[in-house]
């Protein structure tokens, strides 16, 4: 039984301030993610990748089609999923520890217990000693670590990540990717990882799904990544198999990327 199953999901938005009608972000997307599988979704910018993730989280109801979580159709928020957003999502008025323990607090876990587990998780993401720092006192990479701990402390069966490391510099990013892989391999959760970076997608995943350019985005290709685990993201990029996979996927993406680029340019010049 797949952990998450998109069944002909279509999302149409009423275009704001535009009487001509609506914008279809994703169309007829059918995709399933097995339990314990790490799937990356890549596609050109503005193709509706985040829309798919919001549907999986239950934050957005599809216009048509269905989403099933562990075989059950999803109604409301997906309680089995943790979501790591692309933008800053920490509460700026809470320090690192209180941010990490927020989810436990909502579930009524005793304060002492929550603090103990929060401290433990902060240490696990390499932030021991930073419990009392507020988000503005942490660097971008550290804030992402706090977000990661905040999500994983709740032990979700499904993890949704929306370009979580896109704002980080290359070195920090590879560090975070390795840490993510390490945490993931400890108790294989189902992961949907959205990115526009093909190298990141290949080095992390079991499977890479390529989306077409928007509007009406849909998957146009799926590639199984048979690279051995455990992986080191910076080393694996040098292996011949990686380069071969990269070539193949990039070849299938290229056309869509150019299409997406041309559309953006036309929209700007229009």
Partner 1 sequence: MRRRIWVWQLLLLVAIFAVWQLMTQPGLVPPLFWRDNPERAAFFFGEPVKMFRVIWQWFTDGTIYLHLWVTLEETVLAFVIGSALGLAMGLWLGLSPTASALLDPFITAMNAMPRVVLAPIFMVWFGLDIGSKVALGVTLVFFIVFFNVYQGVKEVSPVVVSNTIMLGANRRQMLRTVYLPSATSWVFSSLHTSVGMAFVGAVVGEYLGSARGVGYLIAQAEGAFDINTVFAGILVLTAFALLLDFAVTRVERRLLVWRPTQSETEQL
Which stretches of the chain bind partner 1, using CB under 8 A? Answer: 57, 59, 77, 79, 81-83, 85, 87-95, 102-103, 105-107, 134-139, 142, 150-151, 154
Nearer to partner 1, 113 or 255 (CB): 113
Q: Which is nearer to partner 1, 70 or 154 (CB)?
A: 154
The distance of closest approach from Cβ of residue 258 to partner 1 in the complex, given in angstroms and rounded to an integer, is: 31
Shortest Cβ 260–partner 1 spacing (Å): 24
- Report in angstroms how near the CB of residue 132 gets to partner 1 at its nearest: 10
**Contacts for 96 with CB less than 8 Å, ≥ 6 apart:** 122, 127, 130, 131, 132, 133, 134, 135, 138, 146
Distance CA 28, CA 66 (A): 10
Report the 10 Å Cβ neighbour count for 228.
8
Q: Please state the closest distance from residue 84 (CB atom) to partner 1, in A.
A: 9
Core vs surface per residue 34-65: b (16+ CB within 10 A) or e? eeebbbbbbbbebbbbbbbbbbbbbebebeeb
Q: Which residues contact 251 (CB under 8 A, 6 or more apart)?
A: none
Which is nearer to partner 1, 68 or 80 (by Cβ)?
80
Q: In terms of CB distance, is 88 or 235 closer to partner 1?
A: 88
Q: How far is CA 98 from the centre of its chain?
A: 23
CB of 115 to partner 1, least distance (A): 16
Any idea what DSSP says for residue 70?
T
- Residue with Cβ nearer partner 1 (176 or 257): 176
């Amino acid at each position: 039984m797949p952990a998450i199953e998109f069944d002909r999901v279509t999302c149409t938005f009423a275009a704001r301030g535009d009487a001509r009608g609506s914008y279809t972000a994703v169309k007829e997307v059918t995709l399933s993610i097995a339990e314990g599988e790490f799937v990356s979704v890549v596609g050109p910018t503005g193709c509706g990748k985040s829309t798919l993730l919001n549907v999986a989280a239950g934050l957005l109801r599809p216009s048509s089609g269905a989403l099933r979580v562990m075989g059950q159709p999803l109604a409301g928020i997906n309680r089995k999923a943790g979501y790591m957003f692309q933008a800053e999502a920490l509460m700026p008025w809470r320090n690192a520890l209180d941010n990490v323990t927020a989810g436990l607090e909502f579930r009524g876990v005793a304060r002492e217990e929550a603090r103990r587990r929060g401290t433990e998780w902060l240490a696990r993401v390499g932030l021991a000693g930073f419990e009392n720092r507020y988000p503005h006192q942490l660097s971008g990479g550290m804030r992402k670590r706090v977000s990661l701990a905040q999500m994983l402390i709740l032990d979700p069966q499904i993890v949704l990540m929306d370009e979580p490391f896109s704002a980080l510099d290359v070195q920090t990013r590879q560090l975070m990717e390795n840490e993510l892989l390490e945490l993931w391999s400890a108790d294989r959760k189902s992961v949907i990882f959205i990115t526009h970076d093909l190298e990141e997608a290949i080095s992390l995943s079991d499977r890479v799904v390529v989306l077409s350019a928007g509007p009406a985005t849909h998957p146009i290709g799926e590639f199984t990544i048979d690279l051995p685990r455990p992986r080191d993201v910076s080393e694996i990029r040098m292996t011949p198999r990686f380069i071969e996979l990269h070539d193949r996927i990039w070849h299938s993406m290229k056309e869509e990327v150019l299409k997406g680029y041309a559309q953006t340019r036309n929209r700007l010049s229009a």
